[in-house]
Structure 1
Amino acid sequence: MQSQLSSISQSVSQKTSAVSGSGMDRKVTKKSQAYKWPLIGAVGVILFAWLAYQSFNASSGRALTVNSERIVISTVSSGIFEDFIPLRGRVTPAKTLFLDAIEGGRVERILVEDGTNLKAGDLIVELSNASLQLNVLGNEARVAEQLNNMRSIELNLEQNRLQHKRNLVDINYQISMLTRQVEREATLVKNESISQSQYADTQDTLNWYKSRLKLTLESQASDAKMQEAQLAFLRETSSRLEHNLEISRQNLDNMNVRAPVAGKLSGFNVEIGQSIGRGERLGQIDTPDDYKLTALIDEFYLGRVDIGQQVQYDQYRLEVSKIYPQVQNGQFEVDLAFIGEQPRNIRRGQTIQTKLTLGDESKALLIPNGAFYQDTGGSWVFVVTADGSQAIKRPVRLGRRNSQFIEIIEGLEQGERVITSPYTSYQDMQQLNLAH
């Protein structure tokens, strides 16, 4: 048994020594390190190029690569700058008179249609208003009564004046008779043909009439002064009442709407039986074959547009006749009046293209007008380099502009090329790399 165990132990130890022995080991050789140096050199070159690129961007600002086929490049040129702006004007009547119902009522009769050429005084529509008719009749009765009262007062004053005149005539007659009688009785008293008392009575009567004449004259003068003032007041009151009566009758006559001037009726749309309110618009009358233009101008030109500036439409001339200073949606409105002959083939509501002259023609450096101006306000542009590979941001000073060109004041030279398409996508860039 022991011999078997020893043989087994010997065999296990032999196997263990076979596994962990030198027969399982092998020599490991180091790989070559020659390939590391080119790799390190390539990484260094890339790192240097990246640092140089970052250093260039830090000194020249942000850059962006742009396809040159998607932008517009224009050349700075020298030429004559025409200081004008194009205007699209709408044809409107030169003068328009609105028809409003002075008094409301019901439409009884329509005598014309919309678009009819009218003469001054032509009847357009008849209205009826029973309440107004009754009011007018009542006003006429009251005014007539007051006028009659005024006439009665005037008659009484006139009779009083005539009565004063009659009294004066009687008094003067009595004074004349008594004066002759006193003279005769003075002779008779000397002859003792009459008594002294009779002569004294006649003389007292004469003196009484003379005193009465003075009082009557004073009364007449006072009454005449008062009557003159009262008659002036009565005449003024009567005139005012008659004017009020005329207005009442005119209100009734206004129920018949007539054309105040000659022209073409437009905007007239009423029906028989329709109720029209006081002051309601019935239509308008436009002057025939006499037109003006109304146009909207960008608020940028508000300070440069003035009354009397010239406007050209084909061979016809116009001028700015009125400026509406209210700005709505970035625009203000102007009226343009024809000078002399007007085109015969224009119609109301038609739009025509005109040219508003803002200043005289002058020689200047020019750049085509483009959408870039809206993004920069004319303070800077992208200038293309001579080789066409880049466009550099440059501050400039731009002046007047029209629909075709912009005047260059400083910052650009003749022959230089500028990007004139929109800058919306690269307003913050300092440089554009142009890819072909």
Structure 2
Amino acid sequence: MDRKIEKSRWNTKRIMTIAGITGIVLLVAGSIYFTSGKSKYNVPVDRITISEITKGPFSEFIPVNGVVMPQTTIYLDAVQGGTVQEKYVEDGAKLKKGDPILKLSNTDVELNLANSENQVYAAQTQMQISKNNAQQNTVNKLQTMADVESLYKEAERVYNLDKKLYAEKAIGLQEFKIAENNYNYQLHKRNLAREILREDTILTKVQDQQSKEQYKQMTASLALMRKEVSDLTVRAPIDGQLTSLDAEIGQNKNKGEHLAQIDGFSGLKVRANVDEHYISRVFTGMTAYYPTDDKNYKLVVKKVFSSVGTGGTFQVDMMFVGEVPQGLRKGQTLQIRLVFSDEAPALLLPKGGFFQQTGGNWIFKVSDDGKTAYKVDIQVNRQNPDYFEVIRGLKPGDKVITSSYENYGDIQELVLQK
């Protein structure tokens, strides 16, 4: 009797189909897994930098390069043009205020002085002559006035006498009228002489004042000419050292041309270039430090130049406070720390390449067993060349990876391989 043979449900074709579907599902699941932010990446420990979060004193500062300069530098320019006639000192000489440096020769200036002196002397002589003439004229008028007064008094005496005699009928009317007319004439003449003398006195005073003003102007002009001649001899304006002397005997120098400079003995300052990014945060009175192997020397910002140069920097002048480092020389370059805040306790995160990829918003934190590192959100505040100040996301003792994350992409977890 024939028996019905049942067909197997798990033939090769069906098994292959199911395996293919399963593989596709696993592939899709793996893809979802690795793109869902839970991917891992094996990292050799010797190729990364692991740093520990510590708590310690923190100060915000930036390093700037400063050049040592004299506190006072005065530039010497030719006040008057001329030919270098004589050099009294050489470049580098130490001078006292008023010491001559060089002498220029300018014939025009010297001739103008001579002419001005002659004009003043001539004006002075003419003033004296005019004054003598005025005095003589005044004396003559006074003598005339004296004569007039004498004649007036005599006419007054005769008039008063004849008036009395005429009242007593001792003399006639004709004789009395002669005395009266002469008296009135001498009275008028006296009044006129007095007015002339008064006006002459006023005129003499005005002329004398005008002569004095004219003479004053001429002497001021003479003093200016003498100063111009004096300026031909260039002298040290302060105690200091002569530098950058650019003048040789026989060389012609134009008016306003640079001759040399004097570096004062009053002390040294440091001039630094600061990135324009900090221009709103730098002000006079700020503290800075010059660190050496054994000591930090304190400085204070004395002047801020607000103009920004072509290199995107602005300049500040700083002065040492208290002790000054020994052996500093003009032109020496110092690395200065310009401080924006005083030291205060803070959570310190060492600087590293990680910041370029994270912007300080997250970091890879090492697990307690040291086998993995995973992303944690953090927040940093201030910084200096060595540390970031952490204000959220980490605590003292935590270990984090501070080297570059350039090759990690969107990896969420690092497997640390020793």
TM-score range, shorter chain: 0.7 to 0.9
8 Å contact from structure 1 (residues 89, 354) kept in 2? yes
8 Å contact from structure 1 (residues 147, 241) kept in 2? no
The residue that corresponds to 1:392 in the other structure is: 375
In the alignment, structure 1 segments of 5+ residues that lack a partner are: 1-32
Call closer, same or farther: CA 1:49–1:240 in 2, change over 3 Å. farther
Shift of residue 429, structure 1, vs aligned partner: 4.7
8 Å contact from structure 1 (residues 265, 285) kept in 2? yes
Shift of residue 371, structure 1, vs aligned partner: 4.8
Q: Does 1:406 align with 2:388?
A: yes
Partner Cα separation in structure 1 for residue 345 and residue 398 of structure 2:
18
Q: Does 1:361 align with 2:343?
A: yes
Q: Does 1:294 align with 2:271?
A: yes
The residue that corresponds to 1:113 in the other structure is: 90
The residue that corresponds to 2:253 in the other structure is: 276
Q: Which amino acid is 1:282 matched to? A: L
User: Over alpha carbons, which structure has the higher Rg?
Assistant: 1
Call closer, same or farther: CA 1:58–1:141 in 2, change over 3 Å. farther
Call closer, same or farther: CA 1:230–1:373 in 2, change over 3 Å. farther
Q: Which amino acid is 2:363 matched to? A: F
The residue that corresponds to 1:72 in the other structure is: 49
Partner Cα separation in structure 2 for residue 205 and residue 57 of structure 1:
144
Shift of residue 254, structure 1, vs aligned partner: 1.6
Q: Which amino acid is 1:336 matched to? A: M
Partner Cα separation in structure 2 for residue 163 and residue 344 of structure 1:
83
8 Å contact from structure 1 (residues 119, 263) kept in 2? yes
Q: Give the count of matched residue pairs.
A: 401
TM-score if structure 2 supplies the norm length?
0.80
For residues 360-397 of structure 1, the C-alpha deviation after alignment (integer angstroms, 9 at most, x for no partner) is 3222222113355566654x233335265455374x43
Partner Cα separation in structure 1 for residue 235 and residue 37 of structure 2:
78
Identity %: 31
Shift of residue 246, structure 1, vs aligned partner: 1.4
Q: SS where residue 325 of structure 1 aligns?
A: coil
For residues 302-348 of structure 1, the C-alpha deviation after alignment (integer angstroms, 9 at most, x for no partner) is 33322122333436432111111223334322111123443442111
The residue that corresponds to 2:239 in the other structure is: 262
The residue that corresponds to 2:303 in the other structure is: 322
Q: SS where residue 308 of structure 2 aligns?
A: strand
Q: SS where residue 260 of structure 2 aligns?
A: strand
For residues 21-66 of structure 1, the C-alpha deviation after alignment (integer angstroms, 9 at most, x for no partner) is xxxxxxxxxxxx748846862x555544442344345543999887
Q: Which amino acid is 1:235 matched to? A: K
Match of 1:103 among 77, 80, 93: 80
Q: Which amino acid is 1:356 matched to? A: L
Partner Cα separation in structure 2 for residue 432 and residue 155 of structure 1:
113
Relative to structure 2, which stretch is displaced further, 409-418 or 266-275? 409-418
Q: Does 1:122 align with 2:99?
A: yes
Shift of residue 238, structure 1, vs aligned partner: 1.9
Q: Which amino acid is 1:317 matched to? A: K
Higher helix share: 1
RMSD: 3.6
Match of 1:303 among 262, 280, 294: 280
Partner Cα separation in structure 1 for residue 144 and residue 393 of structure 2:
108
Q: SS where residue 255 of structure 2 aligns?
A: coil
Call closer, same or farther: CA 1:155–1:340 in 2, change over 3 Å. farther
Q: Does 1:196 align with 2:177?
A: no
Partner Cα separation in structure 2 for residue 152 and residue 219 of structure 1:
22
Call closer, same or farther: CA 1:225–1:377 in 2, change over 3 Å. farther
Q: Which amino acid is 1:240 matched to? A: Q
Q: Which amino acid is 1:392 matched to? A: K
Please show how residues 197-216 of structure 1 align to structure 2 within 5 Å.
197-216=174-193
Partner Cα separation in structure 2 for residue 57 and residue 236 of structure 1:
102
Q: Which amino acid is 1:265 matched to? A: L
Q: SS where residue 307 of structure 2 aligns?
A: strand
8 Å contact from structure 1 (residues 62, 428) kept in 2? no
8 Å contact from structure 2 (residues 40, 415) kept in 1? no
Q: Which amino acid is 1:363 matched to? A: P
In the alignment, structure 2 segments of 5+ residues that lack a partner are: 1-10
Q: Does 1:176 align with 2:153?
A: yes
Relative to structure 2, which stretch is displaced further, 124-133 or 136-145? 136-145
TM-score if structure 1 supplies the norm length?
0.77
Call closer, same or farther: CA 1:143–1:421 in 2, change over 3 Å. farther
Q: Does 1:335 align with 2:317?
A: yes
Q: SS where residue 260 of structure 1 aligns?
A: coil
For residues 71-102 of structure 1, the C-alpha deviation after alignment (integer angstroms, 9 at most, x for no partner) is 43333322222344444432110101111111
